[in-house]
Every structure is written in C-alpha cells, then in structure tokens.
Amino acid sequence: MALFKRNTRRVVLALSDTHGGSRIGLLNPATVLERADDLGRVERWTPALGATQRWLWECYQAILSDAADLAGDDEIVAVHDGDITNGDRFGGNVPDTTLEDQRVIAEHNMLPVLALPQVKRARLVTGTAVHVPNCAEARVAARLVLHTGKEVAALHHGRANVDGVVFDLAHHGPHPGSRDWLRGNVALYYLKSAVYEDRRIGKEPARVYVRGHFHEYVPARYEEYWNDARGLYDLTVIPSFCGLNDHGRKATRSAPVLTVGMVAYVIEAGRLARIEPFTRRLDLRIEETL
C-alpha cells in the first residue's frame, strides 16, 4: 500500500546531517532559546551565527527556493536523513547551549522546509546515537507536529512508497571512496547488495536508496535484467549542511572542499522521472603567496 496518495507529479526532497547545535552546523538566525538570567528568571536569547553558519544559511535558503521552483504547485515530501542535532561527544557546540537547546535549534532549522506550501508531510530518519541522544529525531518530530500541524514522524529505517516509487530511507550507508578516482565504487556495490538482499528476503527492491552520514554527495545507479525485465535502481548519499571541525577534518582526511545541499526526486505518473541535486561547494583552503 502506498504511504502517500497518488498524484500525477510529486517531489521528494532529501536533506541530511544538519547537526543543529554545532558551532559549524546549520543555525536558523530566527532561533529563540531560553535560559536563566542572573536572578533565575527566564531569559530568551538568540545565538549569534559564525561565518560558516552564515554561509550555510544562505545556501539553505537559496536551495529551498530552487526546490520550491522545481516543485511548482506539486506536493513536496520532505525527508531529513539523520543527525538533526550534534550531541556533545565531540564538543565544539554553540556556547551556553544544552542538548534540549539543540532540539530547539533543529526544530527551527526545519521550520523553513515545513513552511513551504507544497510540503504537507516530513519524515525524520534517526542518525548516529552520539549526535542524536535521547531520541532527538522523535522529539523534534513531536515539536514540529505541535507547532506546524503538519504530518511529521521519526523512524530508524523506512520504505516509503510515493506514488508507486519506493524509497529505502536510512542514515548509515556506503563510504564515498578512499580516492577521488574511486568515488562512487563502494556506493555502487552497496546498492547492488541492497537490491540482492531485498530480493533474497522476498521484497521487491526499492527504486531509490537514500543514505547520509558522510557529508558528501555521492550518486550511484545500477541497471540489471531480472526474469527478462529491466530493473533500474539509484542510491544517493545526501550531502550535509555542516562545516568541518577537528573531528571532521580527521574523519575526511583533510577534505579540501566542503559540499552541502539537498537532493530532489521528481516522480511523474508513478515513475521516477528525474533526480536533481542542489549543491554548493566551499574551498576550505587558505590561499597565500609567501
């Protein structure tokens, strides 16, 4: 049974790894937090954005506008693919904030998505435990339902049938690749394995497998013939909306360029008609002449 009502055209818009609460994570400048002042009274305050956060927010707004233009009058199904908050394991968070504040920041980060008139519903996929402690996605989803009235739900791993196009949604997936010329190889083998595993357990493979976690945009496509029928499958590792801190530089082995963005999947007449990445790149190196 399809999760969403059939229509002639619909857009699935995926974003991931916004890391709300990190000093280099996405931060809506309209965010309002609460803390106690020197006399113990409630004080409302707004964190100041750093340079990376200002750039991220400009990219975020521009990409949401592009996605809305792509959708036109058609519905957008929004998917956040994990790590909606940052946690406190690796430090480097917005000063004077708590884990509860991170969930408020995450909520405010999602409000512009849900404010789009084309968006009626959203799914928040669970990320890595150290980044999303205490069921962050579920708590953020509940806040968004309360404050927007739209259909928002959290899940660990889902299969969403959108007008007959099945999306397999999970946070953890393939590594982008250990060398630039090997980029996408692991993703392709991961995709083939996912297709085979779905068949082995008696399920029709998903048309699209959506993953996050690695803060990179990596597409992969697999075509095969099974029982004399052509099968076409796509996997996308969704880029982040987060800069690189000490941990990130170590994990990426000093990646020189930061890629952020979202990916839109256009469904027409029950088929995946188009995959449109909306990405922005930032060179992290300092150029100088000595």
Q: Each residue of 254-286: pLDDT tens digit? A: 888 999 999 999 999 999 999 999 999 999 999
Check pLDDT > 90 for residue 226. no
| % of the chain residues with pLDDT over 90 | 86
Question: Domains in the chain, start-ordered, CATH in brackets?
Answer: 9-283 (3.60.21.10)
Please report the pLDDT score of residue 251 as a whole number: 73
Structure confidence at residue 1 as a pLDDT band (50, 70, 90): very low
Structure confidence at residue 120 as a pLDDT band (50, 70, 90): very high
Pick from 81, 142, 150: which is nearest to 118 by CA? 150
| % of the chain residues with pLDDT over 70 | 98
Q: What rounded mean pLDDT belongs to the chain?
A: 94
Q: What is the mean pLDDT of residues 175-192?
A: 92
Radius of gyration of the chain from its Cα atoms, rounded to whole angstroms: 19
Please report the pLDDT score of residue 219 as a whole number: 98
- What does the alpha-carbon distance between residue 243 and residue 18 come to, in Å, rounded to a whole number? 9
> What pTM, to 2 d.p., does this model score?
0.94
Distances (CA, A) of 50 to 26, 57, 79, 248: 10, 11, 26, 17
Joined together, the tokens standing for residue 162 give 């959108």
Pairing of strands 119-125, 75-80: parallel
Check pLDDT > 90 for residue 186. yes
**13 contacts 122 by C-beta, under 8 angstroms:** no
Check pLDDT > 60 for residue 84. yes
Check pLDDT > 60 for residue 122. yes
Please report the pLDDT score of residue 5 as a whole number: 53
Which segment of 38-42, 154-158, 246-250 scores lowest on mean pLDDT?
A: 246-250
pLDDT digit string, tens, across residues 201-223? 999 999 999 999 999 999 999 99
> Residue 55's Cα: distance from chain center in Å?
17
Please report the pLDDT score of residue 53 as a whole number: 98
Please report the pLDDT score of residue 29 as a whole number: 98
Q: Which residue has the tokens 């405010």?
A: 108
- What does the alpha-carbon distance between residue 108 and residue 47 come to, in Å, rounded to a whole number? 12
Please report the pLDDT score of residue 228 as a whole number: 81
Please report the pLDDT score of residue 178 as a whole number: 85
| 25: β partners | 242
Residue 28, number of CB atoms within 10 A of its CB: 23
Q: What is the mean pLDDT of residues 175-190?
A: 91
Q: What DSSP assignment string belongs to the chain? A: --SB---SEEEEEEE----BTBTTB---TT--EEEE-TTS-EEEE-PPP-HHHHHHHHHHHHHHHHHHHHHTTSEEEEEE-S--B--SSS--BPTT--HHHHHHHHHHHHHHHHHSTTEEEEEEE---TTTSTTTHHHHHHHHHHHHH-SEEEEESSEEEEETTEEEEE-S------SSGGGTTHHHHHHHHHHHHHHHHTT-PPPSEEEE-SSSS-EEEEEEEEETTEEEEEEEEEPPBSB---HHHHHHTTS-SEEEEEEEEEEEETTEEEEEEEEEEEEE-PPP---
Structure confidence at residue 6 as a pLDDT band (50, 70, 90): low
Residues in contact with 24: Cβ distance below 8 Å, sequence separation at least 6, in sequence order: 50, 52, 53, 92, 242, 243, 244, 245
